[in-house]
Homo-oligomer: A and B are copies of this chain.
Amino acid sequence: MQKNKFFFIEDFLPYILTQAAETVSANFQVFYKGKYGILRTEWRVLFHLGNFGQMTARDIGINAKTHKTKISRAVFRLEKKKYLKRTTSEEDRRIEFLSLTEKGVGVYNDLKKEAEGFEKRITKNFTESEVLALRKCLKKLEANFD
């Protein structure tokens, strides 16, 4: 009892999902790349630390589903920019605790404002329940792969 006999790429969910994500990301990166010269993974690390406080590279990688080499290099660059500092754990010297410097917090706070403004603008023609439903669907979609 299939309704649509034909395949349309423009209705293929993975395609429109990726297209929407790429368009939104390309427009959002103007802020962090344009203002601070950082890449997407660096933005993610910055925002994890700004949002959750001190974390290890490992835990950021798990939470953001990002490979450890990507995290490692992002941490290196953020450190070089003096946005974050590392502290080796006393109990387990493999682990490094990462946290934002004062400068990093400043950048985080500025980019947080930009993020809030950006989200508002791109959902200007959405009802509040539409935004909530969209968030819910995206999370549910992703949870299907755990």
Contact = CB atoms under 8 A, between A and B. Distances in A.
B144 A7 contact: no
Choose among A115, A138, A142 the residue with the greatest number of B CB atoms under 10 Å from its CB. A138
A35 to B, nearest CB: 16
A135 interface: yes
Classify the secondary structure of A's interface with B.
helix
Nearest to A48: B9
For this chain, the copies found in one complex come to 2
A25 B141 CA distance: 12
Contact of A135 (B7, B16, B47): B16
A75 B18 CA distance: 20
A65 interface: yes
A110 to B, nearest CB: 12
Interface of A: 7-9, 11-25, 27-28, 44, 47-48, 51, 64-65, 112, 115-116, 118-119, 122-126, 130-131, 133-135, 137-142, 144-145
